[in-house]
Amino acid sequence: MACRWLQLILGSYWIISVSALIVNEYYHTSPIAQSRLIFDLLSKYHESVPPTHEGPVQVEIGFTMSFFDFLDEGHQQACIHMWSSRAWTDPRLRWDPAKYNDTDNILLDIDQIWIPDIELYNGATSLNTVKASAVIQHTGKISYVPSFQINFICDMDLSYFPYDTQTCSLKMGSWHYHSETLNLSLSSAKPDLSHFKRINDFTLLEVKQQRNLRTYPCCQEEYIDVTYSFILKRQSSAYSAKLVLPSVLAGFLVLGTFLVPNTSCERLTLCIVLFLCIVHLLTYLHDIIPTSGESILGCYLAFALFLDFFAIILAIISYNLQRSTRAMQELRGEMENDVDGENELKIRKPPNRKKGFMRFFDFGCFILFAVTFIIGLAVILGRRG
């Protein structure tokens, strides 16, 4: 009887031990350990409170660019796709991996933890962010790499279009927290451009990054921002052939109209054709960049159009003078052929002074327009330089 009771006691102890072992093993498996870990970390955690337990939150920001979606010269805007890595430490999210089945990192949704409010200062529209999770190490270090589609203001100087180099700046920083709460620092690694794709007519030459400490009129505290500058160079070979070369030739042909003989109306026709060509080039330039009046090429075409207008007026004057000279010559010819009886009345034809005057007038206009053309180009280039 006693042996039976001993067997029952030993059997119950063995069942309890095995059950405890099974429960303990199940309790410490990775999914259960992570669930316990997340519950323990977030039970007394508040996501709206910054982790300033050890001073200002040190946030390291990095940059990886994918491609430019568009670059709009007319509206001075650009759209870019990029990844922005952020790393900081939150002491409230530290744990001992040995207590949680050697779990040394977990993934948490960004809505569950505090994240720095990095905003775009010069954005044209709201910041479109592809939602991503944050990786938390057992040391409390957090890594967050969101993907952005950003429309931002790009102040472009089109003075030297189409041989221009543009610099578009992307300014990011905290919207609420000043430098005593959040300290932004640049990543030691240079911006990653391995995924960059060429956009339209521009080639990316370089990306510069700079950390700035500024004081704004609204507040006494200093705020930190990070500025990325994209240096883009336009590929001008196509514009040289279809825009720059015709514009330069049209301007020089305006001077060449005074070398055309004024014995017919070909000069006036050439001036009118050049006027229409220059107007067409100005319209084409305006379609490419609506602010074409601010470029050297636009000013050059406007100046050539102005000279061609006066060339048309001078061609009309020259043509009218030439017609009056022809009428006088025809009248003199009729008088020379008029014979009265046996006595021939011969009229001595005076030298044609108007013809020599017209040649001198054309040469003087050519010299005057050439000097005006050179001075005008020097003024345009001087103002833009």
70: tokens are 């568009």
Looking at residue 14, what is its pLDDT?
39
**Shared domain check, 338 and 298:** yes
Do residues 207 and 242 both lie within one domain?
no
Residues in the chain: 385
Q: Based on the domain organization, do 181 and 254 belong to the same domain? A: no
Query: Residue 129's pLDDT is what?
Result: 62
pLDDT per position as a tens digit, 47-89: 888 888 878 899 998 887 777 777 777 778 888 888 888 899 9
Distance CA 345, CA 188 (A): 106
Same domain, 88 and 18: no
| SS3 of residue 139 by DSSP | coil
**Average pLDDT of the chain to the nearest whole number:** 76
| Segment 170-215, tens digit of pLDDT | 888 888 888 888 898 888 767 777 666 666 678 888 888 888 888 8
The partner residues of 203 in beta bridges, in order of sequence, read 233
Look at the block and give the residue holding tokens 């090429």: 297
Query: What is the extent of the structural domain holding 36?
Result: 2-40
Per-residue pLDDT band for 142 (boundaries 50, 70, 90) equals very high
State the CATH number of the domain containing residue 77: 2.70.170.10
Structure tokens at 80: 């870019």
Give the helix ranges, DSSP H, for 103-244. 237-239
CA distances from 354 to 114, 258, 325, 357 (A): 92, 17, 7, 5
Q: Are residues 274 and 361 in the same domain?
A: yes
pTM above threshold 0.95: no
Last residue of a domain, one of 235, 267, 285: 235
The answer to whether the beta carbons of residues 267 and 314 sit under 8 Å apart is no
pLDDT at residue 91 tops 80? yes
Same domain, 129 and 255: no
- Alpha-carbon distance of 59 to 88, in angstroms, equals 5
Q: For the chain, what is the domain count?
A: 3
Task: Clarify whether residues 134 and 66 are in a common domain.
Answer: yes
Q: For a pLDDT cut of 70, what percent of the chain falls above it?
A: 74
Q: In terms of domains, do 338 and 318 share one?
A: yes
Q: Comparing 377 with 205, which gets the higher pLDDT?
A: 205
Q: What CATH code is carried by the domain that includes residue 375?
A: 1.20.58
Among residues 204, 205, 206, 203, the alpha carbon closest in space to that of 190 is found at: 206
249, 255, 260, 264 alpha-carbon torsion, rounded to 10°? 100
Q: Do 155 and 177 fall into the same domain?
A: yes
Q: Do 225 and 334 lie in a common domain? A: no
Angstrom distance (rounded) from CA 128 to CA 332: 86
Regarding whether 219 and 196 lie in a shared domain, the answer is yes
Q: How far apart are CA 176 and CA 48, in angstroms?
A: 12
Range among 17-21, 151-155, 218-222, 360-364 with highest mean pLDDT value: 151-155
User: Smallest Cα–Cα separation from 94: which of 53, 148, 155?
Assistant: 53
Q: Are residues 264 and 345 in the same domain?
A: yes
